Amino acid sequence: MVFSTCSICKKEKFLAENGKSKGLCKVCYKRDFWKSKLFHCPRCERERPYHAKGLCTGCYNSVFHIDKVKIYNKIKDHNIPYEIYQQVTKSCIICGFDKIIDLHHLDMNHQNNSFNNLAGLCPNHHKMIHHRKFQKEIFQQLKEKGFQVPDGYKEDELFKKFTS
């Protein structure tokens, strides 16, 4: 074993004796000079560096860590704890559908993440609540279930002219 000072990070570390390390520690050598071999990923069929279990990094994460990635994305996208997200999106509050549920902010303000402002809606009702033609109908159903909802779009003659 040869201990020496790395020429980049200036820390005293073990240097390889084979002469390939160029006077660098393992970390600096791997970061700056070592290039991993590319292989053909069987899942995405692209040339990528090998990660583990015969997959590239992206495929490995999507196969073995997809649940963690989904949880992280929900927390990042909605800025609420995952437990609250799960509780709100158990089922659609209008029809009870429980397969695919979207998170909706009742006052349409995505900064207001209070529990009373969040509602779980199926994709159909979520699309309807953002559509001018059906919004009042959905808001009425939400009011009947005890939710505080805004007034929605105001009726105007121009809208009536194009929707009739």
> In the structure, what pLDDT confidence band is assigned to residue 86 with cuts at 50, 70 and 90?
very high
- Print burial letters for 7-30: b (CB count within 10 Å at least 16), e (below 16): eeeeeebebeeeeebeebbeebbe
Phi, psi of 11 (to 5 degrees): -95, 150
- Statement: the pTM of the whole predicted model exceeds 0.75: no
3-state secondary structure of 134: coil
pLDDT digits (tens, 9 = 90+) for 105-159: 988 888 888 888 899 999 999 999 988 889 889 999 999 988 888 776 666 666 5
Q: Which of 132, 139, 82 is nearest to 106 (CA)?
A: 139
pLDDT tier at 26, thresholds 50, 70, 90: confident
30, two tokens: 């791997």
Give dist(CA 11, CA 3) in Å, integer: 10
